[in-house]
Amino acid sequence: MSSQFDPFLQFVDVQKAYDSTTMVVKSLNLNVANGEFLTLLGPSGSGKTTTLMMLAGFEEPTSGEIRLQGRSMNGIPPHKRGVGMVFQNYSLFPHMTVGENLAFPLQARGMRKAEQTTRIRTALDMVKLGSFADRRPGQLSGGQQQRVALARALVFEPELVLMDEPLGALDKQLRDHMQLEIKHLHERIKVTVVYVTHDQTEALVMSDRIAVFNEGRIQQIAPPAEIYQNPETDFVAQFIGENNRIEATIKQVSGNQCHLVLKDGAAVLANSPRKAEAGEARVLSVRPEMIVVGADAHDLANSYESKVREIVYLGDHVRVILGFGGIDDLSIKLTHRRAANLSVGDRVRFGWKPEDCRAL
């Protein structure tokens, strides 16, 4: 039974195995709110597409249940779930016009011709292709074809739209543009979206929340800024954004912070997202852009000195690399101005705040 307290979409202890040996999705528990844009982000093979296929109804869970508006989807065929879908390879019918492609899901639902026409017009306007109804997919660019696929997924006004790497086949510039276009479209029509990608930027740009997948499990689920600034696991810190990863041992715990010692003996005060114990092995995570260089670093709780090994020019910033804490490639991201008076071989003072690093 559905009740007003049910989440819009719910995965309850969902597992999936394609054979008798490997669970590719492991006890997935997940709630999605009505109107939310949720992204499943993770490396290839982590179970994202499998999760989406179970949601669409093309795969059945091995165990557990998926509920849409409180109703179990177990055994419900794809066309009865009211779910729109967009995939990487557009999957438009090449012999049909754009208009006919959009009419297809409406005809399948037995909609009257006049209403079909109105819906198709609205959907094409939504993706800014109002004058393209009579073209064939072959006469459109990749980006336009993907917008048609998007319009086709939205034309029957589904409550839920699933997208699996829909921008994967587009070049970078078009992808950046389409990310914002899909985000704005979502803001306008507030349909619930479950979006799959392995591209962290895409996930950060578009999502209300990101579920980071690894080996069939959600590692962390949170809004983009939370995922980036407060990764809870070593995997999340490494997978999203750039990260300095240094092996460490906990010396002492004080509240949600802990004192760590690194392989070269350096002491570091860091936040710990989970309960810590003296003697425990952890990895220290520090983002390159959180490291301060020069006089400002003197007063920081974590303040050190080392010799510059390499300076790399990257156009919009400069990367300074030095040895520290048992690694020889601690990376620091600086503006040109900050890096201007640095040379390879210089001894520099650098550091960061305890709240800008984590013991994971």
Binding mask of the shown chain, residues 184 to 203, with x at each position contacting ligand ADP by CB under 6 A: --------------------
164 phi-psi bin (left φ>0, alpha ψ -120 to 50, beta other): beta
Lookup: tokens for 309: 């090994």
What is the rounded CA–CA span in Å between residue 167 and residue 86? 10
Pick from 14, 24, 28, 246 the residue near ligand ADP by CB under 6 A: 24
Stretch that binds ligand ADP, among 48-56, 236-244, 334-342, 345-353 (CB under 6 A): 48-56
99 binds, among ligand ADP, Mg ion, none (CB under 5 to 8 A by kind): none
Nearest CB to ligand ADP, comparing residues 45 and 326:
45
What is the rounded CA–CA span in Å between residue 216 and residue 52? 12
- How big is the site for ligand ADP, counted in residues (CB under 6 A)? 10
Asked if 18 interacts with ligand ADP (CB under 6 A), we say yes
Are residues 137 and 92 in contact, defined by beta-carbon separation less than 8 angstroms? yes
Least separation in angstroms between residue 229's CB and ligand ADP is 25
Asked if 175 interacts with ligand ADP (CB under 6 A), we say no
Pick from 39, 49, 192, 197 the residue near Mg ion by CB under 5 A: 49
Least separation in angstroms between residue 208's CB and ligand ADP is 20
42 binds, among ligand ADP, Mg ion, none (CB under 5 to 8 A by kind): ligand ADP
Asked if 50 interacts with ligand ADP (CB under 6 A), we say yes
How wide is the angle at C-alpha 36 spanned by C-alphas 34 and 41, nearest 5°?
Answer: 135
Strand order in the sheet with 23-32: 23-32, 9-17, 63-68, 71-72
Asked if 197 interacts with Mg ion (CB under 5 A), we say no
**In 3D, which of 29, 32, 28 has the Cα closest to residue 7?**
32
- Which H or E run contains 113? helix 113-126
Scan for tokens 């704005």, then name that residue: 184
- Which H or E run contains 210? strand 209-214
Contact residues toward ligand ADP (CB under 6 A) are 18, 24, 42, 44-50
Which residues bind to Mg ion, rule: CB under 5 A?
49
